[in-house]
Amino acid sequence: MVAANPPPVPIVEAPHPFTWGATLAASAVSETNSTSVVLSPFLEGAYQVHPALLLDLAWGFAWLLDNQGLGESAARVGNPRLSGYYRSHIGGWRIQGGLGITAPLAHYPLGPDGRLYAFIYNQTLATSGMWNQWLWTTDRLAVPVSARADYTLQSGHVLTADAAIASVSGVRSGASGTEVLGQAAVEARLSIGEKFDVCPRLQAVVLPSSSVDRLQTSLGLRGILHTTSGKYFAGLLFNLDEPLGVFGGLGRWGLHLGKEIDL
């Protein structure tokens, strides 16, 4: 009699608790004999403390090239944000809630360079349609609360609703007062084959009370490529209305390239 050996048990590697993402946003403004290009890299890293709990750290930067046709350049920093997210699955739904806080590092001084630095921040905000504007509001601390719901259809397509509200308070350089800002978006992730998604998106952002226009709407389209090292994307965002959109103003569009973070 020959004893048969049991089949080997496959080894399944646990998912790595750390994930990261990065986005490079770009836009250009052309004037007489001059083209100003603003590049905005945004870095994000998340650590899975528990299957349902994620800690996330994000920080953006902005860089202006060729201002006024003189080959000038200038750089500014955004407000870093630390967030915690709770995630849960209910049937075909994936629910996520988050609470964060930003550090008030974004700043531009009064004086000759102030207008230049303000332009950098405004143009950076325009590339994202003012989404998560508290990452770039100067001299202010923000406490954003966010919620997201994803629903997976039988076809594999995913529908998403995303919203956030934040209390933004002036804390330095004479900034004062508290503002409540909000945003909401709907998005579809349409699978084309096994390794490519197309994602149309419509978003609306409530602007500060000091703005002449109180609502900024934008339309975006991204393509996402699935690889063994992550999900990489390229996309365009168009601001639809005042103060940034196709009916007037600067910052009508933004180009986005990067690696998606898995939240």
Domain ranges (residues) in the chain? 18-188
- pTM for the full model? 0.87
Residue 247 clears pLDDT 70, i.e. is over it: no
Q: How far apart are CA 1 and CA 29, in angstroms?
A: 83
Question: What rounded mean pLDDT belongs to the chain?
Answer: 87
- Higher pLDDT residue, 114 or 202? 202
Tell me the average pLDDT across 63-77: 75
- Higher pLDDT residue, 71 or 50? 50
pLDDT band at 3 (very low <50, low <70, confident <90, very high): low
Q: Which residues contact 90 (CB under 8 A, 6 or more apart)?
A: none
Neighbours of 2 (CB within 10 A): 4
Residues in the chain: 263
Tokens of 240: 């639809």
Tell me the average pLDDT across 173-191: 93
Predicted local distance difference test score (pLDDT) of residue 11: 46
Tell me the average pLDDT across 35-52: 93
What are the DSSP calls for the chain, one per residue? --PPPPPPPPP-PPPPSEEEEEEEEEEEEEETTEEEEEEEEEEEEEEEEETTEEEEEEEEEEEEEEETTTTEEEEEE---EEEEEEEEEETTEEEEEEEEEE-------SSTTHHHHHHHHHHHHHHTTTTTGGGT-TTEEEEEEEEEEEEE-TTS-EEEEEEEEEEEEE-STT---EEEEEEEEEEEEEE-SSSEEEEEEEEEEEPPTTSS--EEEEEEEEEEEEETTEEEEEEEEEE-STTTSTTSSS--EEEEEEEE---
Predicted local distance difference test score (pLDDT) of residue 30: 74
Residue 14 clears pLDDT 50, i.e. is over it: no
Q: How far is CA 196 from CA 157, 170, 222, 233, 241, in A?
A: 12, 43, 10, 10, 30
Residue 151 clears pLDDT 90, i.e. is over it: yes
pLDDT band at 256 (very low <50, low <70, confident <90, very high): very high
Predicted local distance difference test score (pLDDT) of residue 248: 45
Q: How far apart are CA 139 and CA 168, in angstroms?
A: 10
Q: pLDDT tens across 117-138, in order? A: 888 998 999 999 999 999 999 9
Predicted local distance difference test score (pLDDT) of residue 253: 85
Predicted local distance difference test score (pLDDT) of residue 13: 44
pLDDT band at 190 (very low <50, low <70, confident <90, very high): very high
